[in-house]
Amino acid sequence: MGTEAVLLNVFHSVPSANGCLDLLLSFYIFEAQQMATVSLNEINTVDDLKKYLNDNEQKLIVIQFSLRYPERRDFVENSIRQWITEYSNRVLFVKCNVQHKENRFKTEYNIQNVPTYILFQNNKEVARLTNTNEDELKKAINQQLPQQN
């Protein structure tokens, strides 16, 4: 069943004196489904990351260098999952775990603190943010994108 069908079924199956409640519930279910289906690509080796950067050099690439805590996801990562759809073909988002067994990420990309976000375009670092929030990261992304008229 597609997302639209699920939303339609939920919208009609929730009795309420106020149609706004139905609409709000439908919106939250839609958001939850979108978040569940959007994944953040993970790259585990420096060599794979270099290949990814070379293969996609025409796009803006945002790399999240972080630690892997399965029980906790940071707030910025939640925003990134939403931005994957928002920025679609203009920005690519990937995640690199600095605790991975092949831990050259720290030395190769000079990662001192986590999370660190590095933006690449044309295979060059164009911005770096450490311990940032989603507003600052989104501003950095938008500054690197060509302005649309």
**Structural domains of the chain sorted by starting position, each given as residue range(s) with its CATH number in brackets:** 3-37 (no CATH), 41-144 (3.40.30.10)
* pLDDT of 56 above 80: yes
* Nearest Cα to Cα of residue 42 among 99, 124, 88: 99
Region of residue 148 (phi > 0: left; psi between -120 and 50: alpha; otherwise: beta): beta
Question: Which pLDDT tens digit goes with each residue over 77-126?
Answer: 888 988 998 998 899 999 998 886 667 899 999 999 989 999 999 999 99
**23: Cβ–Cβ under 8 A, 6 or more apart, which residues?**
11
Is-above-0.75 flag for pTM?
Answer: no
d(CA 95, CA 104): 14
